[in-house]
Amino acid sequence: MTTAPERPPGPMAPDTLLDPRTLLTDRQFASVVTTILDNNPGMTENMAERITTEGLRFTVTAALTPGHAMAPSRIVDEGWHSLILHTELYAELCGVFGRFVHHSPGYSPDHYDGDVLEATQAAIRAAGFEVDAELWRAPDDESLVAVAANCQHAPAGDGPVKPMPTPQPPCHNK
């Protein structure tokens, strides 16, 4: 893992964007991209790189803002899953930026909450990143790309998944 860039606390100025590609070595980044490609036959390498990059943005932002209600789109979730599968890399990435970001999977079509996805994108921007808005689609919108990830992290009525400092049961359990 490369050394994380110095980042002052609080929102970043709009002209001070962080490059998520600098958070991993080229070899680490390629390994995460390969995991996405292996799980999604027929996906282009460019799309897998975009998904990896957005997964990095989501993970770093979640680690920086543990109390903020956040959820990835299904496309971005594919990048998050692939990062998590690289356990040492993922733990180190989370640690550099604050806290380990736990994943509590669950799926139901009614778990979609577009407002949470919008708030998550705003948090990513406030953390100093660009957002690849095209990857933040509703879970049933596969017009850009279909992904293997089958989680939906914003259950209706239960509130969105929040990155937590300690493991807790999945939010979809009552």
Closest of 30, 40, 50 to residue 150, by C-alpha = 40
Q: What are phi and psi of 89, to 5 degrees?
A: -60, -45
Q: Provide Rg for the chain, Cα atoms.
A: 15
∠ CA 68-31-121, rounded to 5°: 25
Structure confidence at residue 159 (pLDDT): 34
67 DSSP assignment: T
The H-assigned helical ranges of 9-152 are: 26-39, 45-64, 74-85, 87-96, 114-126
Structure confidence at residue 83 (pLDDT): 96
Structure confidence at residue 26 (pLDDT): 95
Q: What are phi and psi of 114, to 5 degrees?
A: -60, -30
Structure confidence at residue 141 (pLDDT): 72
Structure confidence at residue 17 (pLDDT): 67
Name the region of 42 (left: φ>0; alpha: ψ -120 to 50; beta: rest).
left
d(CA 115, CA 142): 19
pLDDT per residue rounded down to tens, the chain (174 residues)? 544 444 444 444 444 568 999 999 999 999 999 999 999 999 999 999 999 999 999 999 999 988 888 888 889 999 999 999 999 999 999 999 988 998 877 666 566 677 888 999 999 999 999 999 999 987 777 777 777 666 655 443 333 344 433 333 444 333
